[in-house]
Structure 1
Amino acid sequence: MEKFQIEYHHPDVIHLLSNHLSQLLTQKGVPDSELVCLCIGTDRSTGDSLGPLVGTFLSEIIQNQLYIYGTLDNPIHAINLDRTITKIQQTHPSACILTIDATLGKQKNIGFINLGLGPLEPGKGLNKNLPSIGDIYLKGIVNIVGAHKIYILQNTRLHRVYQMAKVISLAILQATERLNLHTSNPPLQSNMLITGK
């Protein structure tokens, strides 16, 4: 399994996504290797806040052994991405890097979460020349791709982005708990996810 796609409001999304993620993490040597979650995006744009939301949710629950870069308070974006990558490579030279970011796509794919092996290419949809990074990626399709991409991201519904971030966070937490990477406080509960589209 190298690529998996599922809608964020699928009734079994957290279970299915976490199962596939744990398989990829195992394939990449986790838990013997450190795991870094690189959550890319900015809170200055609603659609691009998916990554920082995931980083914030994770940092509020994780107690140990999962290294999180990118939150609402300290976002990782085009300006500081190079510096952050250098820091990660120096601090965690043999870590498995899981990258999380928002993306735009076709109308029929809005709300889908893509999981796969390989590096993420942040900023590609906005024609930004940013370095590829990561061993595993999680991408949330938050809105439709179009001519005015920055405007589209800025006018994306926060509710959708928030829900997708919750799903991704819970899937990561369940996958890493399955691999005994950490304990969470409080214990994970599926009702942490607010239902709805």
Structure 2
Amino acid sequence: MTSQLNSIPQVSTIYYKETGVIWRLSNYFLEYIPFDHTNLVFCCIGTDRSTGDALGPMTGSFLTQLVSFPFEIVGTLDNPLHALNLEETTNTLYNSPDKPFIVAIDACLGNANNIGEIIIHPGPLYPGKAVKKDLPPIGEISIKAIVNIGGFMEYNVLQSTRLNLTFEMGKVISRSLLLAWHRYNLKNNSNYNTNKN
């Protein structure tokens, strides 16, 4: 796993309304995510009680509805992964006999001109950092969506974020992950058939 992490870019960023965003984002996911890992887990962090912070669980719910996406999803609108259960869930996952490779997905705050950007980078995500919460880091890969402006009254800013933005960004992330998984499978099948012949 280390060699793959060393060979991928440090940070990739794309705007969620960019032309061809789902295809381009799937390219990034194919670079960053080891779809052949035996215990690949997607942790979608946030709460359904805040429109801005609902990005994670909304993405998790979208992913669970995709019947051809076979990976474990932790954190949905029905069963969120948030400050109250994050540490316990993280401990349970990392104490599994088959060590997981966790892809962490969460909303974040940023500059006004960066709202709508999706950021992917190797290394853990630090949930609750924007609202000064001290929570354990999570993930080998982080996917962050900038949903609003940071720097002041973060709780209020998250509460007043447009639900349509988190909904659309969650949809883009989930559809891109599904496309990346399908493209990974097609490539593998193609390689298998080539080697077979």
Report the TM-score range of the alignment, normalised by the length of the smaller protein: 0.7 to 0.9
Distance in 2, matches of 1:67 and 1:130, equals 22
Distance in 1, matches of 2:88 and 2:62, equals 23
- Answer yes or no: is the 8 Å Cα contact 1:146–1:152 preserved in 2: no
Unaligned stretches of 5+ in structure 1?
A: 182-197
How far has the Cα of 1:25 moved from its partner? 1.5
Please name the residue that 1:114 is paired with.
Answer: 119
1:126 aligns with 2:134: no
Q: Which moved more, 1:122-131 or 1:58-67?
A: 58-67
1:146 aligns with 2:154: no
1:80 aligns with 2:85: yes
Please name the residue that 1:91 is paired with.
Answer: 96
- Give the number of equivalent residue pairs: 178
| Aligned match for 2:45, one of 11, 27, 40 | 40
1:4 aligns with 2:3: no
Secondary structure at the aligned position of 2:133 is classed as coil
Query: Structure 1 residues 117 and 87, CA, compared in 2 at 3 Å: closer, same or farther?
Result: same
Larger radius of gyration: 2
TM-score normalized by the length of structure 2? 0.86
| Aligned match for 1:17, one of 4, 22, 25 | 25
Secondary structure at the aligned position of 1:47 is classed as coil
Distance in 1, matches of 2:123 and 2:105, equals 12
Please name the residue that 1:185 is paired with.
Answer: none
1:53 aligns with 2:61: no
- Answer yes or no: is the 8 Å Cα contact 1:38–1:97 preserved in 2: yes
Distance in 2, matches of 1:90 and 1:136, equals 18
Q: Which moved more, 1:158-167 or 1:87-96?
A: 87-96
Secondary structure at the aligned position of 1:76 is classed as coil
Please name the residue that 1:170 is paired with.
Answer: 175
- Answer yes or no: is the 8 Å Cα contact 2:39–2:98 preserved in 1: no
Distance in 1, matches of 2:97 and 2:161, equals 34
Q: Which amino acid aligns with 1:161?
A: T
Q: Which moved more, 1:138-147 or 1:44-53?
A: 138-147
Secondary structure at the aligned position of 1:100 is classed as strand
